[in-house]
Structures are given as C-alpha cells and as structure tokens.
Amino acid sequence: MFSSRRSRPINQGNPKVLKARDLPSVVQYIESSACENVMLMLGAGVSTSAGIPDFRSPETGLYSNLQRLNLPHPEAVFEINFFRRNPVPFYTLAHELYPGKFRPTITHSFIRLLAEKKLLHTCFTQNIDTLERRAGVPDEKIIEAHGSFATQRCIDCQRPYDDAKMKDHIKRKAIAKCDSCQGFIKPDIVFFGEGLPSAFARAVPNLRKADLLIVIGTSLTVHPFASLTGMVDESCPRVLINMERVGDFGSRTDDVILLGKCDEIVLELCQSLDWEKDLNRLWELTKASVVTEPEEEVEESKSEELPEPKSAHPRDNLEILAAVEARLAKMSVKEGKEEGKDLEPSTDTVPSNTTASANSTTKEEAEKVAENIVDAIKGAPQGDVLKNDPATMEK
C-alpha cells in the first residue's frame, strides 16, 4: 500500500455524456435508460455520521485518538507483525468499533435503495464496519476491499473461528486463540503487510461495465483502492460526494464534484429523483440493526471466597477492600430494588483481578473480610499509613 494526494487540474471541456457537471444532470442521467450499472466506492466519511471516526482527521480521527494505547505509531494497530507481538491494542479498538453498536447512515440506506431499484452493480468499500450489510445491501453486491469484522480466522493456520465466540472475546476485551494451534484470532480485516481479499481482485475488471461511478466519503489516498477511479471507461460519468476534491476528479469532462456532507448531498439527490420516501423507509429499518446488550447478572456462587488479607500492611489489601466495597454496594442496590426503592448503583471501580472473587461470596462473608482488612489498616504502624500520594503509591 502507498499514499498519494496529488490532484489533476480541472478539465474545462464540455461534458460528452451529461448535459452539465451538476446534480440535476446526474439525476437526469440516472433516470435515463443509459444508466443501468452503477458502481460505488466508499470511504470512512460515509460512516462518520454514524459516530464512527475516520482515520486521518486531526484531533477527531481514529489515528489521532489511538495515542492512548501507547503504540509506536498509530498505524501499528493495523500492522500484522505488531499484532503478532501485541494483540491487545487491536482488541481494545475492536471493542469500541465492533458491529452492532452503530446505526447505518442515510448514505448506507441509499446504497440499498440503488440495489432495490436494480441499478447497483457493485459497492466497493474501504470500510470495515459492516454498515453496508447492516443497512440491507445484498452481500453479493459488496466488495470489502480491506476486509471487515464479518468473519475471522487464526493468523497462523487460517482456520475460521466461530462468530459467537469472537463476539464474546471482543466484548470482554479478551484475546481469542485458535482451538487448533493456539495462534491469535483476528477478524478478516486487511492489515498492513497482508494481501487484499481475492474477491477484490476478481471484481476489479467489472469496473469496465460501469455506466456511472459514485465515489463517496474517501480521501483516495490508499492504493490500490484509490486507483479504481481510473479503471472505468472514459465515457463513464464519475460523481464525487465528499468534503473536498480528491484524486484526479475534475480531470475528465464528465466528472461531477459535489462537495459537502455525504448524507445531505445523498438526501438532496434522492429528493430530486423522487426517492425520498423510499430512502426514509429503508433508513427507518436500520434502527433494528443496533444491538443493545443487556446488563448481565453475574451468577453468585458460594464455592469461591474472597481472599483473606495478605498482611497487616494496608498497601497489600486496598484492591481487595475496593472489591468488597463495590460488592456490598451492588448487594445494597439489589436489595433496594427488591423492596421497591429507587437506588442508584455504585460507581466505584472494581479492580479486574478481584472482580471474580468479589462477585462470588455472600454478604456476610464479604462483611467479615472487609472488617479484617479495615482492622489491618487501623492497626498499621502510624508512619506507614497509605495516603493518596502518587509518590507513596509507587513505593
């Protein structure tokens, strides 16, 4: 893969297929018998209104916000060699972006509408979020050039991995390993250092069949995807819907550049085509694509107990105490709800390494351990009392 941001000069010649290089001329062309095979190319800008950040926008882009994961550089989260050494950053990211959390946009519903109108030939997408699928675009019409979260497999033996098990691991931010060889499991997203899907290579020649190419929400900086714009015939009108002019758009006589927010321009296009009612109907259906995970009740068990205090020193027991306090607060909330009281759950943070034991004991046992820890803290030497001092915490 490589990047390029060069743009060619605007072609000043008269259009040969369209009447003019504007939206009304695009509408007229779509309504004509000459437009039968519409091809689309999608980038991250299609999904930003769904709440998914794009990659390169300063401050708000995905790469900018990955600094908190302590990566050597932002792109490392999508590098296969880095993933082999440390899959944690990617699983953290996957937890935030996993399909089901985001609703498809108006633009995604427009793609499905093109399919229903028997106009969509192929939708090439750089996006890994599967929102095209969730909007109801037929699978056979979608080419996920950079892969997606739809499937997953072992990075070593390439054995496919179960969807439900993968979802569970990502939900818990737990690293999934192959049942066969114990290699790391990765969604079928194309990382730097990996080849593009074979389906992408097979679909590229079909661009010659395009009667209209619509490119939406992409910077056209990543190749070979960006090169697809040049693979349609010179006689094929090309429409760019984006915040800025990119690639070589404007270099052909039948290029139309519509600058602005994707959803707004798509809505205007559908209004002009008298498709607005159908578009809204399809977008309304996407509400059901958002999965709201219910809060799971942790089954209580008396077989596991909270550990006894490690020593008389308070520093050794703070995590256990925090877990106990959280557990007691949770019990109080549960009891209050059963009595019809309107109680708010505690917002205390429970350390991950004590959560299991804190959630699997009785209230009486938890209170007993809490008393033991509190007694240990009270009985600690006066000069060793732990304070909320960062310097002290490091010692």
Buried b (16+ CB within 10 A) or exposed e, 221-233: bbeebbebbebbe
Q: Is 45 marked as binding a ligand?
A: yes
Q: Is 55 marked as binding a ligand?
A: yes
Contact indicator for 123, 99 with CB cutoff of 8 Å: no
CA distance 124 to 222: 14
Q: Is 128 marked as binding a ligand?
A: yes
Contact indicator for 93, 12 with CB cutoff of 8 Å: no
Alpha-helical segments (H) within the chain: 23-31, 62-65, 80-85, 88-97, 106-116, 131-134, 163-172, 198-203, 262-273, 276-285, 318-338, 355-358, 363-378, 390-394
Q: Is 243 marked as binding a ligand?
A: yes
Q: Is 166 marked as binding a ligand?
A: no
Contact indicator for 135, 289 with CB cutoff of 8 Å: yes
Q: Is 129 marked as binding a ligand?
A: yes
Contact indicator for 286, 109 with CB cutoff of 8 Å: yes
Other Cβ atoms closer than 10 A to 56: 16
The per-type count for the chain, helices as H runs and strands as E runs, is 14, 8
CA distance 350 to 192: 37
Q: Is 123 marked as binding a ligand?
A: no
Q: Is 44 marked as binding a ligand?
A: yes
Bridge-based pairing state of the strands 120-125 and 38-42? parallel
Q: Is 137 marked as binding a ligand?
A: no
Q: Is 127 marked as binding a ligand?
A: yes
Q: Is 5 marked as binding a ligand?
A: no
Q: Is 262 marked as binding a ligand?
A: yes
Q: Would you please indicate which residues are annotated as catalytic (active-site) residues? A: 146
Q: Is 233 marked as binding a ligand?
A: no
Q: Is 255 marked as binding a ligand?
A: no
Annotated binding site: 44-48, 54-56, 126-129, 154, 157, 178, 181, 218-219, 242-244, 262
Annotated binding site for NAD(+): 44-48, 54-56, 126-129, 218-219, 242-244, 262
Annotated binding site for Zn(2+): 154, 157, 178, 181
